[in-house]
Structures are given as structure tokens and as C-alpha cells.
Amino acid sequence: MPTTTRQEALRHLRTSFAAAGIDSPALDARLLLLAALGIAGAELAATPAEPLGEAGSKHLAAFAARRLDREPVARILGEREFWGLPFRLSPATLEPRPDTETLVEAVLKTLRAQGRADAPLAIVDVGTGTGCILLALLHELPQATGLGIDRALEAAQTARGNAERLGLAARAHFIVGNWSTAAAGPVDVLVSNPPYIESAVIPGLAPEVRQYDPLLALDGGRDGLDAYRALAADAPRLLAAGGLAALEVGEGQDGAVAGLFAGRGRITVHADLGGIARTVLVEADR
Ligand SMILES: C[S@@+](CC[C@H](N)C(=O)[O-])C[C@H]1O[C@@H](n2cnc3c(N)ncnc32)[C@H](O)[C@@H]1O
């Protein structure tokens, strides 16, 4: 109601989100209230007794209904932060996850240790989605250029839009393709966070994932490893001697994925903040 105060609305939202089994009811309520009113946290703290008003009340009701339908907050807001940068989402793109920053960090650390961070590197990102991995790398590597590939046209278009908004469009190109086959080698860095969930597991995923992340971004085939087999088969053609391949993996998949790249170079596994092996990195032989 327009006469409901900001504080009352927050309390009410929090309670109804918790009752619906939403994981982070307080945070979600706060983010949606701020967005519905178009205000910052400091203004909310200073004026908790202010009424929502006609427009604020209407926006908040619409946002709350979507969240109760288990749509993630980032999809409602249309944007998600990754590597400190804003990325627009579309129905065809996965919502970027903080765990994927492990891959970006591992690649940057390796390139810096090799003294190649300022080199004119060629990067290919397979299954680019919002473009978050490629664009985070380009943001950090001033001389690098990159190609993002996705099977979904709408994802490639969203990634291109993100590159433009981040001022990286001159160094980033996006195409539609099947895994890495459309890319011409040799490339210095191959990165991918491919779909890796076993097909049979998908119906049991949380509604936020199952209903809102696109199936094409989740389904890794019967054993979850289809994409890795395709990438491992194409890597010898695509990757330059001494190049890097970095692959995000699901929990427990690091051994199998490392096995697919065995004999191709030095392999290291990098854990995310939760201690789960999340990135398999291959430094190809020279
Ligand atoms: C797990 S999502 C990762 C998206 C993004 N890189 C990220 O980390 O947030 C996997 C992506 O692979 C794309 N994809 C699925 N099958 C593909 C294929 N055969 N070739 C290229 N991309 C594919 C999906 O459309 C989706 O964007």
C-alpha cells in the first residue's frame, strides 16, 4: 500500500520471503526495496518512516511477486556484478556466479607469473553467456583481444552489449558457434565455464536455477562431461604452444577433466572460496 512505510514494507517482505523458503530473505527484501524506490541504502537508513508512495508501492509489489515465484534478484534487477563489473542478463544467459571468479583469478595469476600480462594475447571463451569471463580478463589485460562463442544467439548479443557498456567492444568479438570449432587457432588462452550438470540432476535443482537459468547453460549430458570432451579434442588444434586452457568444473569433476587433458602439459587445480576444486588449468607444453 502507498501509505506503508519503508520499514514496514521491509519487515513484511522479509517475513513472506522467509515463509516461502527463500535462502536470504533479509538481503533480497532490502535489494528489491531499494530498487523499487530507486534509492541508495543510506537514504533508506535515514528515512525508514517515509511512506512507499504510489509508484514505489506498485513497483515493490511487482518485484515481490516475481521473487516469490523464485525468480533470482539479479534477474529481477536485470544486472549482476562479476569481478566488480556490471553485467546485463537475458533469459538466454546464465547468471554469473562468484565461484567463476576462481577461473579468472587462476588465469591472471599464471599469466602474471609468466610475465605475459602485458602481451597482445589472443583469448577464446567458449560458452561465453554474458561474456563475464572474457570481459573480466580483457579488463585486466590491456593488450589482449578476445573471441566469445556461444551456441545461443541471444547470449552472444547480450555479451556484445556488455562489452559495449564496459568500453571493451574494440577488443572483444562474439559469435555463435558449437564449442570451439568456429575459432581459428592458435590462441594463447582458452577459457570456458561450460554446461556441466548431469542431465538427470537438473529436475532436482533449486527453482531459481531450474526455472530461470537456461537449460543450454546447465545440461552437460549424461555424465556432465560432454563439453570437456569436445574442448579436449579440439585443444591441440586451437591452443598455441605454451598456451593456457582454464576450465571451470562442477564439484568432483576435476579428476575426470584433468584426465581428459592428461599429457597436454602441466595441470593445476584451483579451489573456490568454499574449498571446492573449481578450475582445472592446463599450461600447454611448448
Ligand atoms: C554455464 S554457462 C556459462 C556462461 C558464462 N561463461 C558464465 O561463466 O557465466 C554455459 C554457456 O555455454 C553455452 N553453450 C551450451 N552449449 C554450447 C555449445 N555447444 N557451444 C557453445 N556454447 C554452448 C550456453 O548457452 C551457456 O551460455
Asked if residue 163 and residue 64 are part of one domain, the reply reads no
Our CA dihedral for 216, 217, 221, 225, rounded to 10 degrees, sits at 150
Domain extent at residue 102: 81-284
Q: What secondary structure does DSSP assign to 28-94, as a single string? A: HHHHHHHHHHT--HHHHHH-TTSB-HHHHHHHHHHHHHHHHTT--HHHHHTEEEETTEEEE--TTSP
Average pLDDT over residues 88-105: 98
Q: How many domains does the chain have?
A: 2
Among 193, 197, 226, 279, the mutation site with the greatest number of ligand 1 atoms within 8 A of its Cβ is 193
Residues 231 and 256 in one domain: yes
For a mutational test of ligand 1's pocket, the pick from 125, 135, 150, 249, i.e. the residue with the most ligand atoms closer than 8 A to its C-beta, is 150
Q: Tell which of 69, 95, 116 closes a domain.
A: 69
pTM of the model: 0.96
Predicted confidence (pLDDT) per residue in 52-95, tens digit? 999 999 999 999 999 999 999 999 999 999 999 999 999 999 99
CATH number at residue 256: 3.40.50.150
**How many residues are listed for the chain in this entry?**
286
Q: Is residue 75 part of a domain?
A: no
| Ligand 1 contact, 180 CB (< 6 A) | no
Mean pLDDT along residues 239-263: 97
Q: pLDDT tens for residues 9-49?
A: 999 999 999 999 999 999 999 999 999 999 999 999 999 99
Same domain, 224 and 112: yes
Q: What is the pLDDT of residue 10?
A: 97
